[in-house]
Structure 1
Amino acid sequence: MLTSINVPQFDGLPHDAETSSDVPFSLVPLIATAMDQTEKQIELLLKELKPDIVFFDFQYWLPNLTQKLGIKSLQYWIASPFSISYSWNGPRKSQGKGLTVDELKKPPSGYPDSYIKLHQHELKFLSSTRKLVFGSGLYLYDRLHIGTSLADAIGYKGCREIEGPYADYLGSVYGKPSLLSALKPPNGFDSIEEALPEGFNERVKGKGIVYGSWIQQQLILEHPSVGCFITHCGAASITEGLVNTCQLVLLPRLGSDHIMNARMMSRNLKVGVAVEKGDEDGLFTKESVCKAVKIVMDDKNEVGREV
């Protein structure tokens, strides 16, 4: 059964925008602000529906509401335990302050992997996300940390076989059980196609396909003609790549879990090869992409055989 709620409209939010998929990333904080104003509606619905458990993401106020009504709540993260436990968990408390690049160089106390090393441009990005105001004047970190601290359980996109130690670590940090369970257009564009250089589709016609909408990626990856998967390292894409026979080339976009997923797959699990990037600027070249593809596809290459 689907139940509707009325998401308030205000200046800056496009008409009829109700979810993060309706707006570019720059406007997602406005969606969070609008959802914060639905608390009374949600309370009335919960009293009427009487569910056993409520899943939520950015609504940090929801656990207080469910506790009053005798309902369980689960904070769901779309990222992996490996990445969340490095940059977002309790030991790295914000309390209105960000973390410096130097502070983020070191894993938090008790982190299962004490030898992880991040590039300078990745550290700068992670530091900037800690200072992001994400609706109602609240930092994104504090919004997620408060919700996770108050929830009855935590859900992630991951699996125990790969990330068991990190899920257990987060469970110990927050003192609660853990539940383990495509690329969007670039900023400033409404679609993948719009972001392509002029004439690109004509140049690759007959050689490849650019498809900007949702597709059945797992069906494509399991096709025998696909030998290599260059992935942006989202948790879902990584999982779909692992369950198929194609080789993995890791080219993470600047997202906290994408960066960490690439480290885990290339260094810890050794199931893929990361594309070389500049340490300071994070830039990569067509030659560095080609080099990574050649490594994983060459049966005579020692690294290629290992992954």
Structure 2
Amino acid sequence: MATQKESLEKLRIAIYPWFAIGHIGSFLPLAKKLAQNGHHVYFFIPSKTLSKLSLQNQYPDHLTFIPITVPLVDGLPAGAETTNDVPDSHVGFLLHAMDQTRDSIETRLTQLKPHIVFYEFAYWIPELGLKHGFKSVFYALSSMASLAYFAPNLKEGKRSSIDELVAPPPGFPTQTFRMHIEEAKGVTKICENADNLGLGITMPQRFFIAFRDCDAIAVKTCMEMEKVYIEYVEKVFGKPVLLGGPMIPNPSSSKLDEEIDEWLNGFEEGSVVYCALGSEVVLHIDQFHELVLGLELTGRPFLAAIRPPKNHNKVESALPEGFIERTKGKGMIKGGWVQQQQILRHPSVGCFITHCGLGSLSEAIMISDCQVVLMPQAFEQFINAKMMSLELKIGIEVEKGENDKLFTKQAIQTTVSLAMDQDSQIGKEVRNNHAKLKEILLKDGLEDSYIATFIQSLRDLL
């Protein structure tokens, strides 16, 4: 237990996320909440990526971004810093580059003398903690349901087979949902892409060590949503799970981009479909076409923030023939980053099609009243989507083909209609469930209570 002196002092906390924009952005709410409470947070981030986040630092006296140089390793393109800069088949080179930062990170940590270091892919952080006297906390970016689904194999450090992934593990709290075969194949492919380059440690070994050696596991969730999964994860790993609570996004001080704001202002309240698949998703051209044509088929105004498909540099060059002319004035496609929180808060937005990353789901639940359409693309997103649609019942998942598990334009159109049509019973059910959960998570004092307990739990580790 922490001494009285330790309980009173402000903590020094370092954060080292994986080199992916989505991961970095998901660590940021944690950093802000800790800094908001007066603790000193040091956030390691690739140097060129820093410019994308520096304007989001509302607590410069307590939150310090520390730029790091990503080493140039054989196979990694010059200047590559994040997963946005490399194809899926080359992610292993970026993992190797992160591991090569160990010495420089150790040097900085000896200077900063943190009490706690949060990490995920940098499995060697706990070893540095033993050497330099800080505690290491694995920060899980997935839902607890998703982590629970994979937990037994993560603990054993073995690569999951497709058959193992399709069915929930022994003792899993519910049999309501399971993965499809094609989804399971996608998960195993992610590990294979990282491991086939022969650069040392495999992904299963990386996570085996990361979970085995950490002092605690932390996650952005709460008992009100995931009690049974939290208890299951604690049992499997034999580690305390520290709950950050809902971590309600702070209102952004920046105004919505003028072009987007003016465009949205031209439509009725709750009429626009907003689609965003995250900063990591790059679709094949056929799925890209199915998505944009599905948005067109809805007959509703739509705003889509999606990266150019594979082998295309710009979204515009990949759009189907005649698409721009047919959707002029009614559809807007953005190929880069957009201000998602401000868009979700806009009264004209009535539906959010999401890839089911935890950050996007949190924003959909807590800062918006719009209907949620679930279109998971990879890994833990598959489980997140099933928990949201089958258990919490606050969203509707887009059905995919039985054999290939690819989505179609017709399935997108059908799901949006189920969500948004006034006479849809399913739409009414998910709207009511969404409203109830939002009310619970935004209850006065709930978040403050979780953050206070979370910080005390960090002190108790010391």
TM-score, structure 1 length as denominator? 0.88
Deviates more, 1:234-243 or 1:177-186: 177-186
In the alignment, residue 97 of structure 2 is paired with which amino acid?
A
Aligned to 1:306: 429
Look up the SS of the partner of 1:210 in the other structure: strand
Aligned to 2:329: 206
Q: Is the 8 A contact 1:231 1:251 kept in 2?
A: yes
1: CA distance between counterparts of 2:316 and 2:138?
Answer: 34
Aligned to 1:90: 152
Matched, 1:153 2:216: yes
Look up the SS of the partner of 1:293 in the other structure: helix
CA shift digits 1:205-228 (9 cap, x unpaired): 211111122222122122221111
Give the unaligned 5+ runs of structure 1: none
Look up the SS of the partner of 2:333 in the other structure: coil
1:49 is displaced (CA, Å) by 1.5
1: CA distance between counterparts of 2:155 and 2:119?
Answer: 21
Instruction: Give the length in aligned residue pairs.
Output: 304
Aligned to 2:347: 224
Matched, 1:63 2:126: yes
1:91 is displaced (CA, Å) by 4.5
Aligned to 2:280: 184
1: CA distance between counterparts of 2:417 and 2:226?
Answer: 28
Q: Percent identity?
A: 44
Aligned to 1:291: 414
2:203 to 140, 165, 175: 140
Q: CA RMSD for the aligned pairs?
A: 2.4
Aligned to 1:102: 163
Aligned to 1:245: 369
Deviates more, 1:242-251 or 1:182-191: 182-191
Matched, 1:279 2:375: no
1: CA distance between counterparts of 2:193 and 2:115?
Answer: 33
TM-score, structure 2 length as denominator? 0.60
CA shift digits 1:249-307 (9 cap, x unpaired): 11111x11111111011100111111111122012222211111111223322222111
2:113 to 27, 47, 50: 50
Aligned to 2:178: 117
2: CA distance between counterparts of 1:259 and 1:67?
Answer: 36
2: CA distance between counterparts of 1:104 and 1:158?
Answer: 23
Look up the SS of the partner of 2:194 in the other structure: coil
In the alignment, residue 239 of structure 2 is paired with which amino acid?
K
1:175 is displaced (CA, Å) by 2.0
In the alignment, residue 90 of structure 1 is paired with which amino acid?
P
1:195 is displaced (CA, Å) by 4.6
Q: Assess, with a 3 A threshold, how the Cα gap between structure 1 residues 303 and 174 changes in structure 2: closer, same or farther.
A: same
CA shift digits 1:116-154 (9 cap, x unpaired): 232221122233345443573322232123112211122
Look up the SS of the partner of 2:89 in the other structure: helix
Q: Is the 8 A contact 1:235 1:257 kept in 2?
A: no
2: CA distance between counterparts of 1:75 and 1:193?
Answer: 40
1:259 to 377, 382, 387: 382
Aligned to 2:454: none
